[in-house]
Amino acid sequence: MGARIDLLEMPVVLRPLMPFAAAFVLAFALSGTPLPARAAGAPGVADAVPVAPGLHAFDLTAARNGLTYRVDVSVPPVTPPPGGFPVLYVLDGNAFFGVAGTTARLLGWERPIAVVAIGYPGVIGFDLTRRYLDFTSAVTPRGRSIMGTRAPKVPTGGDEAFLDVILNEIRPEVVRRFPVNDDRASLFGHSLGGRFVLHAAFTRPHTFRRWMASSPSIWWNDRELLTEEANFAARADRPALNLTLAVGGAEQDPEADDTPERVAFRNMARMIDGVRDMYVRLVELQGDAGHLELLVVPGEGHISMVPAALARAVRRAGE
C-alpha cells in the first residue's frame, strides 16, 4: 500500500447537499434536544430516537467518567453487506455530524458506510469545555507557559478515560443497535480531536482499522505526541498504521487581523510543518507497509479544510 501525498488542485467545497441534506440539517438542529432517559439494554443508555429516515440519536452516560455523550448515527438506506457496514466514528459530533453524514451519502453509493458522531447533549457546534477535557492529556506547567494567553482555563486530561468510553461503552452500544462491522471501524478527529486520534493510534494502535487526524494539535503540551510516536516506533508489536494526516495549506499564513499573540501562537504551533514532519518520519518507519497519506488543502485554513478532510475520511472508511 505504502505512502501517498495529495496536494489538491483546488479547495474542496461540498456541492449542493442534495435532497437528503435537509435531514442532516434537522439532525444538527436537534442536537441540543433532550432524548428519552429510559435505559435500553445497558444502564445509563437512552433509547435510540429516529430523527429522520436512516438517522438516529441516543444519549449515553459513561460508567468510566460519569459524563453524558450524545451519539448521532447515520445508517445507509440500503441492505447492509455481510458483516455490516464499515463505520466512521467522528469526534466533535455536534459540529461535524451534518457534514460527515451528508458526505457519506454523497460518496457512498458504491461503498456505503455508517457514520457515528460522538458529541454532547444540549450543544450546537463545539463544546469547548468538554472537548478540552476529552481530547487532551493534563496540561503541564511547561505546556501552559508555551500556550500563553491561549492556555485553557477549563479542566484537561481526560483523553484516556474518553478513549475507554469509546472503546468499551459507545462502540459496543453502536454494534448492538445498528448493522455495523466493528472490525472495519475508523476514527476521525480535527484539531484537538486530531491530537486525540494520534494519541490513540500511537498508544492503542490495534483498536481502529483506519485513522484520520485532521489539522492535529501536535503542539499540545510541548509536543508530547512526539514522545508517544517514538514509543510507538519502538514497540515490538507495532502494527503498520493506516493513517491519513491532513492540514490546511494556509494554516501558517499571516492574516489581516493578526495580533502579536496570534502570530506567536501560530509560530509555536507550526501546524503544516508539524504534520509534514510526522508524515516523513512515519514513512521512514513503515516503508510500504500499511497506508500512510498526507493531504494538504491549498488555500484553506484550520476550519475551512474540514470538508476536504471528512470527504477523504469517508472514502477511506469504505475501503
Closest C-alpha among 66, 68, 208, 115 to residue 58? 68
Q: Which bin fits 125, alpha (ψ -120 to 50), beta or left (φ > 0)? A: left
Q: Which of 56, 215, 291, 293 is catalytic?
A: 291
Q: Is the Cβ–Cβ distance between 71 and 121 less than 8 Å?
A: no
Q: For this structure, is 251 an active site residue?
A: yes
Closest C-alpha among 77, 106, 74 to residue 90? 74
Sheet holding 55-61, edge to edge: 2-7, 291-297, 242-248, 210-214, 180-190, 85-90, 114-119, 68-74, 55-61, 49-52
> Residue ranges of the alpha helices (H) in 46-170?
93-107, 128-135, 141-147, 159-165
Q: Which of 191, 214, 215, 217 is catalytic?
A: 191
Which residues on neighbouring strands pair with residue 243, listed in sequence order? 211, 292
Q: For this structure, is 186 an active site residue?
A: no
Would you name the residues annotated as active-site residues? 191, 251, 291
